Structure 1
Amino acid sequence: MTYLYHYLIHYPKGILLQLLLLIFILIPLIEIGVFIQVGDIIGLTSTLIIVFVTAIIGINLLKQQGLKTWFEIQKKMNSGQIPAKELASAAQILFAGGLLLTPGFVTDIVGFTLMIPNVRLLIATFLFQRWTNKVSIHTYQTHQRDSFNDSTSSPTNAADIPPKRTIEGEYEDHSNKP
């Protein structure tokens, strides 16, 4: 156990693991507190019924939203587009489904909030903007010289390439054939 603790504390990415550990400890404690408060107000039986009903509603929403997002992913892929936002939405739906199946009121509120398509879109847009600011994309262009096989590659910035310019092609290596 001390090795795991040492690993979590001293690993370079340990801050993320510490945060996850804190979340896995705090969320159940918060849920227990809310259960006690709600149970005092409406009673144990009503509290358990509400938890059960929200799980049933969560399963149905997960199925409905998941299928809708799956069809949107298929539609984008069939049209030759990258379904980035749809995949982000699918990941959020999966996370929301896990929260809705977890007994508790706080997790249900977060799960139901993530089932709203506009909320998922806002989160996906925010994350994409944040990640694109941290990522630099480099491409390589090949320039032909005098002979056919003599070429050099030079790195360029993706911003140097004109927008909406796609070059597709096939490559077949004939160097080892007679």
Structure 2
Amino acid sequence: MPLLILILILLVPYLEFLVFMEVGEAVGGFNAFLATILTAVLGVYLIRLQGFEVMQRMHRNLQNGESPIEEIFHGFFLLIAGLFFLLPGFITDSIAVLLAITPVRNFLGRAIVKNIEVHYYGHGRGPRAGPGAGQGPVIDGEYRQEDESPSQLEDDRDNPDHKA
């Protein structure tokens, strides 16, 4: 995994440069530069608006006692999209535009949740599945409840009037 991240860190700027040069040849270098700046400004504005909507929905869900997990995923993907909009280049801007689309975020969020459920719960089978799932192991045993504290029991044993 660290090797994959290193390859991406080195490969993405190279690919961005190649795409920028191709776009620059097609529409002119200055126009390509303006397009990069314009997509960054408009993209961050769009992400900001959508982020406020997600925060309002999350707040509403929390007030209603509902789980905000969907909004958390939307917020995470919007954060990634905002970072991609700030990086100069057409490839990262294209990925950011995709992440800014709500159905795409829904799809990715569901895929992640399903992946977590499969890895954690084991395909819905096994000891963690069904009613009582996730409550830990069941320990069989017996117990008895004593009304007196241990210090009172010791005092009673020392007392000659105490009958055992």
Count, aligned residues: 136
- Tell me whether 1:49 sits opposite 2:34 in the alignment: yes
d(CA) in 2 for partners of 1:27 and 1:38? 16
SS of 2:135's partner is: strand
d(CA) in 1 for partners of 2:119 and 2:35? 43
In structure 2, the CA distance between the partners of 1:81 and 1:48, relative to structure 1 (3 Å rule), is same
**If the length of structure 1 is used for normalisation, what is the TM-score?**
0.70
Q: Which residue of 2 aligns with 1:72?
A: 57
Per-residue Cα deviation, 1:68-108 (whole angstroms, up to 9, x for no partner):
11111111111112211110110000000000111100100
Larger Rg: 2
State how 1:104-143 maps to structure 2 within 5 Å: 104-136=89-121, 137=128, 138-140=134-136
Moved over 2 A (4+): 140-149
SS of 1:96's partner is: helix
Tell me which amino acid in the other structure corresponds to 1:77: L
d(CA) in 2 for partners of 1:76 and 1:26? 40
Tell me which amino acid in the other structure corresponds to 2:52: L
Cα displacement (A) at 1:123: 0.3
In structure 2, the CA distance between the partners of 1:131 and 1:51, relative to structure 1 (3 Å rule), is same
d(CA) in 1 for partners of 2:59 and 2:140? 37
In structure 2, the CA distance between the partners of 1:75 and 1:144, relative to structure 1 (3 Å rule), is farther
Per-residue Cα deviation, 1:116-151 (whole angstroms, up to 9, x for no partner):
1110000000111011000035314688966447xx
d(CA) in 1 for partners of 2:73 and 2:16? 27
Q: Which residue of 2 aligns with 1:167?
A: none
- RMSD over aligned Cα atoms: 2.1
State how 1:9-88 maps to structure 2 within 5 Å: 16-88=1-73
Indicate the structure with greater strand content: 1
Higher relative contact order (CA 8 A, sep 6+): 2
